[in-house]
């Protein structure tokens, strides 16, 4: 069986948050309302009833009622929340985003030593409603290409058990090499309970984390027959323990094993519980003696060349390609051999706008370190 080896060699540090919040207007209180944020899409401007009739630029001042509790920042009258407006059945996602320029940290980022901590609060308080919201944090290079695996929270809703309280979401990770922009995205969807989209966000922070002197030098993964072999090396024996975490998607990791600290070189061999075709994602949770921890970069390993999945096919305006890998290329080729477009891929899924490509039969060609695949695609308009 062909071996797939991925290597990430860099320097990583434990972190403690510093005071500066890099998010502009993190609590929706700045004036004019919506300052610092870009509206990608939103619901109707108002639901015509108080308090949603004060909706402006993805913000609202709630009135403290059951459906519109006070904000997280002040917990009192007059506070503002991020809120996406009103819509009809099965609308969204609606999105608000902020791009944060971190190019001032370029030297540390490209050395692999610059971690950031994101935190935000979300509330879906209306009993048994299916309105949904989530956070996404993307790390982008100077050309706006997404690097590595983005952080994505669950789609929160009261129907799925959120309760009526403000729920915190947090993620700490080392910025991928070449990161120059960190994009924070708030998204909502209305499913079955119009008109108000009762999803609220508040107190969103992104802070740099200060380095401490324990370093991860390398983290590698490869296939050995049916087994997976993970190996990592540290420069000092200062980590108390390492938890090995696995994911099918690159998000929502679960712990699968633990290794005690005290060494410089570690190996972990195991047989994954999958069908041999799936790509799996692995990372280390490196825990210090005082309980502080930091995640390693993510390593993606496929038992075999994971089959690309095209959906929908036939496609109309957008095409989603699943099982892509980091630093690959996907191209759409006409039946006469003309390249219609090509995009660089990241780990997981790749969404392509094909609205400008004429209807017809095409071929999707994927090229990455594991080889080349070609699949038929029908575009219909």
User: Which CATH number does the domain housing residue 321 bear?
Assistant: 2.60.40.3080
- The count of domains in the chain is 3
Helices (H), the chain: 106-110
Integer CA distances (angstroms), 332 to 126, 308, 353, 364, in order: 45, 14, 11, 5
Burial class (CB in 10 A: 0-12, 13-18, 19+), 301: buried
> pLDDT value at position 328?
72
> pLDDT value at position 108?
83
258 with 172, same domain: the answer is no
- The domain spanning residue 98 has which CATH number? 2.60.120.260
Look at residue 285 and tell me whether its pLDDT is greater than 50: yes
C-alpha 347/C-alpha 129 separation (Å) is 33
What's the pTM value of the predicted model, to 2 decimals?
A: 0.59
C-alpha 334/C-alpha 201 separation (Å) is 45
Residue 9 lies in a domain: no
What letter would DSSP give residue 53?
G
- The domain spanning residue 229 has which CATH number? 2.60.40.10
Final residue in a domain of this structure, among 187, 211, 235: 211
168 with 82, same domain: the answer is yes
Can you tell me the mean pLDDT for 53-76? 95
- 305 pLDDT tier (thresholds 50, 70, 90): low
C-alpha 225/C-alpha 250 separation (Å) is 23
Q: Which residue segment(s) compose the domain that 191 sits in?
A: 15-211
Among the ranges 6-15, 108-117, 342-351, which has the highest mean pLDDT value? 108-117
Beta strands 91-101; 38-41: pairing state: antiparallel
Give the range among 149-158, 347-356, 365-374 with minimum mean pLDDT: 365-374
232 with 348, same domain: the answer is no
Burial 25-45 (b: 16+ CB within 10 A, else e): bbbbbeeebbeebeeeebbbe
Residue 196 lies in a domain: yes
**C-alpha dihedral over 115, 247, 133, 349, to 10 degrees?**
90
Reduced to 3 states, what is the DSSP secondary structure of residue 97? strand
Contact yes or no for 44/191 (Cβ under 8 A): no
Structure tokens at 370: 């594991």
201 with 344, same domain: the answer is no
* Each residue's pLDDT tens digit, 310-350: 989 999 888 988 877 666 778 898 887 788 888 877 767 78
Pick the closest to residue 13 from 304, 351, 295, 260 (CA basis).
Answer: 295
> pLDDT value at position 2?
40
Residue 258 lies in a domain: yes
Give the range among 17-31, 124-138, 195-209 with minimum mean pLDDT: 17-31
Higher pLDDT, 359 or 345: 359
200 with 268, same domain: the answer is no
Reduced to 3 states, what is the DSSP secondary structure of residue 351? strand
Can you tell me the mean pLDDT for 120-148? 93
């Amino acid at each position: 069986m062909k071996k797939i080896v991925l290597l990430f060699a860099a320097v990583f540090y434990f972190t403690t948050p510093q005071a500066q919040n890099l998010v502009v207007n993190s609590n929706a209180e700045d004036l004019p309302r919506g300052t610092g944020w870009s509206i990608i899409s939103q619901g109707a401007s108002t639901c015509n009833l108080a308090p949603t009739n004060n909706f402006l630029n993805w913000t609202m001042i709630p009135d403290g009622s059951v459906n519109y509790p006070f904000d997280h920042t002040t917990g009192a009258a007059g506070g503002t929340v991020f809120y996406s407006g009103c819509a009809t059945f099965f609308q969204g996602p609606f999105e608000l985003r902020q791009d944060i320029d971190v190019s001032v940290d370029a030297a540390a980022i490209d050395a692999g030593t610059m971690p950031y901590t994101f935190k935000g609060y979300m509330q879906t308080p209306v009993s048994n409603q299916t309105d949904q919201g989530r956070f996404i944090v993307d790390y982008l290079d100077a050309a706006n290409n997404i690097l590595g695996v983005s952080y994505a929270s669950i789609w929160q809703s009261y129907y799925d058990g959120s309760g009526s309280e403000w729920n915190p979401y947090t993620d700490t990770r080392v910025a991928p090499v070449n990161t120059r922009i960190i994009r924070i995205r708030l998204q909502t969807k209305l499913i079955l309970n119009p008109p108000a989209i009762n999803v609220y966000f508040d107190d969103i922070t992104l802070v740099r984390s200060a380095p401490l002197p324990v370093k991860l030098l390398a983290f590698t993964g490869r296939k050995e027959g049916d087994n997976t072999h993970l190996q990592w090396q540290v420069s000092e024996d200062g980590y108390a323990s390492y938890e090995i975490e696995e994911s099918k998607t690159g998000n929502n990791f679960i712990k699968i094993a633990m290794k005690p600290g005290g060494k410089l070189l570690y190996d972990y061999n195991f047989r994954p519980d999958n069908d041999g075709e799936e790509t799996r994602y692995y990372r280390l949770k490196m825990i210090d003696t005082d309980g502080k921890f930091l995640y390693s970069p993510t390593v993606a390993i496929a038992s075999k060349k994971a089959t690309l999945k095209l959906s929908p096919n036939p496609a109309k305006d957008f095409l989603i390609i699943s099982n892509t890998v980091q630093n690959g290329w996907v191209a759409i080729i006409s039946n006469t051999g003309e390249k219609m477009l090509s995009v660089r891929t990241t780990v997981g899924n790749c969404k392509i706008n094909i609205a400008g490509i004429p209807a017809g039969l095409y071929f999707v060609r994927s090229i990455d370190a594991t080889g080349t695949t070609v699949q038929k695609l029908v575009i219909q308009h």
